[in-house]
Amino acid sequence: MNSVQLTKFLAAVAVLAVLTVPVRNVHANTFALGALTPFADISLASTSHATGLFSDVFSFSVTANANLATVLANISFFSSGGISNFATSLYEIGSGGGAVLKATGTTTVVPGPVTLTTSVISFSPLLAGSGIPALPSYQIRTSGNVTGVAGSYGGNLTVSPVTVSPVPEPEIYAMMIAGLGLLGFAARRRQRGVAV
């Protein structure tokens, strides 16, 4: 075998090696949910993917400070495929575009002929912006690996108002201290009156 034949043979082996490596498709969807108000309950419709890795992003902002609760679920039937390594996380997106991780979903897998995988995020508070710049935005990012022919997931996102306990004003403390002082004065005077 001469050098030209050897070069052609090595090139053919290299092409064959590249073609036999399994290709991993990475699927990505972005969903813009807009500005959510407290008491919003958004259904995240079934999101389907073909075999391979996926990474989806649900973007939103809030119009008032709020609590977040989200549940995303995947159901796999009879080991015919589904989603493995299903994960969710919540990010806050700053005005400069940088993402800060705020919460990671708690993933639970219930195995069986019908496998249920859920990922739950609870976070408080989501902060609403005022003035300029615009509202801070948030992203729920999901990822996983679709095994079998296809896999899908769905769920809901609930935004509820933040309940704030009232903080007493300084005048309330002053009135309380004055009242305690008057009680102490009355008690002392009564004590002196009995002793005489």
CATH number of the domain bearing residue 120: 2.60.120.380
For 2, which DSSP code? -
- How far out from the chain centre does Cα 50 lie? 23
The confidence score (pLDDT) of residue 90 equals 92
Comparison of pLDDT for 26 and 110, the residue scoring more: 110
Query: Is there a single domain that holds both residue 114 and residue 174?
Result: no
Strand 99-104 vs strand 81-93: parallel, antiparallel, or unpaired? antiparallel
Query: Is there a single domain that holds both residue 72 and residue 106?
Result: yes
Residue 8 lies in a domain: no
Using CA atoms of 46, 52, 53, 59 in order, give the dihedral in degrees to the nearest 10: -30
How does residue 195 score in pLDDT terms, banded at 50, 70 and 90?
low
Cβ atoms of residues 96 and 145 within 8 Å: no
Query: Is there a single domain that holds both residue 75 and residue 108?
Result: yes
Which ranges constitute the DSSP H helices of the chain?
3-20, 170-195
* Least reliable range by pLDDT among 19-23, 112-116, 145-149: 19-23
Q: CA distances (Å), 66 to each of 92, 177, 181, in order? A: 14, 35, 41
Q: Is the pTM of this model over 0.85?
A: no
Residue 16 lies in a domain: no
* Least reliable range by pLDDT among 39-43, 95-99, 119-123: 95-99
For 168, which DSSP code? P
Question: Nearest to residue 86, comparing CAs of 146, 44, 149?
Answer: 146
Query: Is there a single domain that holds both residue 65 and residue 148?
Result: yes
Sign of the dihedral through C-alpha 137, 62, 123, 127:
positive
The confidence score (pLDDT) of residue 93 equals 87
Strand 26-36 vs strand 40-62: parallel, antiparallel, or unpaired? parallel
Query: Is there a single domain that holds both residue 81 and residue 132?
Result: yes
The confidence score (pLDDT) of residue 64 equals 83
Alpha-carbon distance of 4 to 1, in angstroms, equals 8
Residue 136 lies in a domain: yes
Q: What is the mean pLDDT of residues 87-114?
A: 84
Residue 10 lies in a domain: no
* Least reliable range by pLDDT among 69-73, 124-128, 155-159, 162-166: 162-166
Query: Is there a single domain that holds both residue 88 and residue 151?
Result: yes
Query: Is there a single domain that holds both residue 99 and residue 75?
Result: yes
Query: Is there a single domain that holds both residue 101 and residue 28?
Result: yes
Query: Is there a single domain that holds both residue 191 and residue 130?
Result: no
Max distance between CA atoms of the chain, in angstroms, equals: 128
Residue 116 lies in a domain: yes
Query: Is there a single domain that holds both residue 79 and residue 175?
Result: no
The confidence score (pLDDT) of residue 14 equals 43
For 130, which DSSP code? -
Query: Is there a single domain that holds both residue 105 and residue 193?
Result: no
Residue 6 lies in a domain: no
Residue 18 lies in a domain: no
**Residue 33 in this model has a pLDDT that exceeds 50:** yes
The domain tally of the chain equals: 2
**Residue 86 in this model has a pLDDT that exceeds 50:** yes
How does residue 164 score in pLDDT terms, banded at 50, 70 and 90?
low
Alpha-carbon distance of 161 to 163, in angstroms, equals 6
Query: Is there a single domain that holds both residue 123 and residue 146?
Result: yes
How does residue 16 score in pLDDT terms, banded at 50, 70 and 90?
very low
**Residue 21 in this model has a pLDDT that exceeds 60:** no
**Residue 119 in this model has a pLDDT that exceeds 80:** yes
| Enclosing domain of residue 173 | 168-196
Beta strands in the chain (DSSP E): 26-36, 40-62, 66-77, 81-93, 99-104, 106-110, 114-126, 137-161
Alpha-carbon distance of 142 to 107, in angstroms, equals 11
